[in-house]
């Protein structure tokens, strides 16, 4: 599976893992088009979580997603709850971030989205929730008018 297909699978998985429905963006973080997602391809994605022994929600989300998408394996990568932002920022800087990760403070990560393409543009997914009275995505829209995160709780 090539990088663009994996990127799109991660974006789709990210939305589902965050308990949202929808399909992935047709544009990748660098603005290029991605190819069609093969729904039957075997894919492995990584998903960040913290304090996995005391915070089972991350593995529960991964397990639920894998149940609905048996061709996709989600590996949960553990971070420290106290140093999550620092560790994740370091991984993003080193281009070794998980495919899907919760963000505690989106504004801290704006640089990676806007300058390095380190975050996926989820604007197409966010647009599908425009006007939804149960899921308000408006606070996730950044200065460039794009969405790089979606609510997961």
**Highest averaged pLDDT of the listed ranges 4-13, 58-67, 95-104:** 58-67
Residue 104 vs residues 11, 20, 49: alpha-carbon distances, Å: 18, 18, 11
- The reported pLDDT for the residue numbered 72 is 93
Q: Where in the chain are the domains?
A: 3-140
What's the 3-state SS for the chain? CCHHHHHHHHHHHHHHHCCCCCCCCCECCCCCECCCCCCCCCEEEEEEEECCCCCCHHHHHHHHHHHHCCCEEEEEEEECCCCHHHHHHHHHHCCCCCCECCCCCHHHHHHHHHHHCCCCCCHHHHHCCCCCCCCCCHHHECCCCCECCCCCC
**Separation of alpha carbons 54 and 106, rounded Å:** 24
Instruction: Indicate the fold that domain 3-140 takes in CATH.
Output: D-Maltodextrin-Binding Protein; domain 2 (3.40.190)
- Top mean pLDDT of 40-44, 75-79, 108-112, 114-118 is at 75-79
Residue-wise pLDDT tens digits, 4-37 = 444 444 444 444 444 322 333 333 443 444 456 6
């Amino acid at each position: 599976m090539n990088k663009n297909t994996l990127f799109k699978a991660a974006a789709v998985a990210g939305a589902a893992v965050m308990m949202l429905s929808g399909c992935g963006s047709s544009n990748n973080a660098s603005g290029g088009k991605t190819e069609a997602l093969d729904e039957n391809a075997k894919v492995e994605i990584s998903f960040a979580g913290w304090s996995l022994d005391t915070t089972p929600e991350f593995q529960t989300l991964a397990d639920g997603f894998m149940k609905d998408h048996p061709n996709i394996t989600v590996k949960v990568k553990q971070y420290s709850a106290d140093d999550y932002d620092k560790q994740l920022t370091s991984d993003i800087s080193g281009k070794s971030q998980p495919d899907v990760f919760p963000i505690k403070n989106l504004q801290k990560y704006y640089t990676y989205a806007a300058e390095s393409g380190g975050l996926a543009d989820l604007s197409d997914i966010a647009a599908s929730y425009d006007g939804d009275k149960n899921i308000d995505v408006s606070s996730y829209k950044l200065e460039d008018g794009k969405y790089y995160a979606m609510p997961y709780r």
